[in-house]
Amino acid sequence: MGSPISRQSQLHGRTRSRWRHWAIAAALGPGLCSLAVEADAQEALLGTVLEEPGSAALGFVFRSESSAYRDGGRRDDFLPLYLYEGERFFLRANEAGVRVWHDDTMGVEAFVERRLEGYPEDTAPPSLEGMEVRNTGADLGARFYLQQGASRWDLSVRHDVADISHGTEVRLGYGYTIQGDRWRLEPVAIVSWRSADLNDYYYGVETFEERPDRAAYDAGAGWNTTLALYGRYRILQNWSLIGGVYATHLSSEIRDSPIANDDVRWGVMAGATYDFGNGQVRWDDDDAPTWVKVFYGRDSGEGCHLVRIMTLQCVSLNDVDPTDVAGVHVGRPFVSRLNGWPLDLVGYAGVLRHLEKGRQPNGWQLDAYMKAFYYGFPWSHRVNTRLGFGIGVSYAERVPYTEVTAQARRGENTSKLLNYLEPSVDVSIGDLFGNKRWHDVYFGFAVSHRSGIFASSQLLGTVDGGSNYIYAYIEAAF
């Protein structure tokens, strides 16, 4: 993937410069499609997925839309959904933020958002052949929302903080909710003003990118308009189906670009979510235990991927150019004994330090995930044994060395943000040594796995690859 920083040096001349459950709908939209011009309308899609503060959900959305670029055809994308609504902090797919102020009908939020716009190097249409890559960025933003009965207004502003486009966008949206006991529909209308820097980065053509059928072009500021209809149907207590259709009219400043598709943009999407916040255990309950895990490990050997590790076909460590990790993860339970089964669900967040042994600077990694623990083994009454599997999101300060080298050998791109998986197995130290006081202290082994989900998701940089670290840990409840 072309480096946005290196491209910045070439394009230096461009710097012209609810509360409660519906709050998630005010910001989820930009993460639900690969191009932000369509994403303006997605702000109502998940609606009431998270119905209580302190709850979390996982899910996915499949999307198909017409490309913003000439000869781009149709583009399909997979979006993993990582959702959390706390009293103050939230995680909404491609957005994380904090509520600055709120009451029962309105509020102000600050957020950081991954901008899902542009195109990755490996799927560029013919009209973009030979051009520098324009891909996902990161925005810092603020949002004011107002809920009056079934009507919802949303005003937000965001600005590039990744030193990529230097662009700014302002969005004003209106949605009206129609709902029954198990279903919800919301028509949405949104207008967005995009600065010249933003439009020019994604739709401009530099002089060094000219060719006979692609003249140089500077895209100015302009307004996009989107109409959409989104819905949700709850099929079980925790499972919901979600979907929608949308159409976007691009500004003339975008349509006049020699690389842009000048037709009305359309898209459809469908997916499902599972809400963990069913009231069995409140994440913020004072009586709920806090799990603290400390760990240390090393990257796995060549060809020792996650499936082979989980099936015990390969547990070798890298002995050629090894790198290590050390970290701390903190968890709180969401559900204990799900449906009466020996199955608990715990939400984790934590930090990991990449120890690169001089091969590149060390770096930090942030992980957030939901993990299921099964402990119904025949011997668990004597030595409690847990088999765990976590899924969530991981953001690295810099792409880990093991990912950089592996992807370079394959000629693939990298991404700081990837999907996170964590299989584990552990046993109670207290049960092993006959000490009841240490019953909730566990020793075990796990795999820290970062993955791009086979290049299926633009949220994850359209990456095909990742890394595996095998680590030992001690975890205790406090």
Token pair belonging to 188: 């949405």
Q: Which pLDDT does position 221 carry in this prediction? A: 97
pTM, to two decimals:
0.81
Looking at domain 4-275, its CATH architecture is Beta Barrel (2.40)
The backbone torsions φ and ψ at residue 342, rounded to the nearest 5 degrees and listed phi first, read: -80, 65
SS (H, E, C) the chain: CCCHHHHHHHCHHHCCCCCCHHHHHHCCHHHCCCCHHHHCCHHHCCCCCCCCCCEEEEEEEEEEEECCECCCCEEEEEEEEEEEECCCEEEECCEEEEEEEECCCEEEEEEEEEECCCCCHHHCCHHHCCCCCCCCEEEEEEEEEEEECCEEEEEEEEEECCCCCCCEEEEEEEEECEECCCEEEEEEEEEEEECHHHHHHHHCECHHHCECCECCECCCCEEEEEEEEEEEEECCCCEEEEEEEEEEECCHHHHCCCCECCCCEEEEEEEEEEECCCCCCCCCCCCCCCEEEEEEEEEECCCCCHHHHHCCCCCCECCCCCCEEEEEEEEEEEECCHHHCCEEEEEEEEEEEEECCCCCCCEEEEEEEEEEEECCCCCCCCCCEEEEEEEEEEEECCCCHHHHHHHHHHCCCCCCEEEEEEEEEEEEHHHHHCCHHHCCEEEEEEEEEEECCCCCCHHHCCCCCEEEEEEEEEEEEC
Nearest to 396 by CA among 365, 353, 360, 418: 365
Q: What pLDDT was estimated at residue 48?
A: 45
137-148 and 106-115 strand pairing: antiparallel
Would you kindly state where each structural domain of the chain is located, as residue ranges? 4-275, 291-477
Q: How far is the C-alpha of 408 from the C-alpha of 414, rounded, in Å? A: 9
Decide: 277 and 52 in contact? Cβ < 8 Å: yes
Q: What architecture does CATH give domain 291-477?
A: Beta Barrel (2.40)
Q: What is the pLDDT tens value at each position of the chain, 478 positions in all? A: 333 333 333 333 333 333 333 333 333 333 333 333 344 444 445 444 555 566 788 899 998 989 889 988 888 888 888 888 877 888 888 888 999 999 989 999 999 998 888 876 667 788 898 898 887 889 999 999 999 999 999 999 999 998 999 999 999 999 999 999 999 999 999 999 999 999 999 999 999 999 999 999 999 999 999 999 999 999 988 889 999 999 999 999 999 999 998 878 899 999 999 887 644 545 556 678 999 999 999 999 988 999 999 999 999 999 999 999 999 999 998 888 888 899 999 999 999 999 999 999 999 999 999 999 999 999 999 999 999 999 999 999 999 999 999 999 988 889 999 999 999 999 999 999 999 999 999 999 999 999 999 888 888 888 889 999 999 999 999 9
> pLDDT (tens digit, 9 = 90+) per residue, 321-364?
999 999 999 999 888 888 889 999 999 999 999 999 999 999 99
Res 76: pLDDT: 86
Query: pLDDT by residue (tens digit) across 26-67?
Result: 333 333 333 333 444 444 454 445 555 667 888 999 989 898
CA 383 to chain centroid: 37
pLDDT of residue 285: 61
Domains 4-275 and 291-477 equal at CATH topology level: yes
Burial code (b: 16+ CB inside 10 Å, e: under 16) for 20-49 equals: ebbbbbbbbbbbbbbbbbbbbbbbbbbbbb
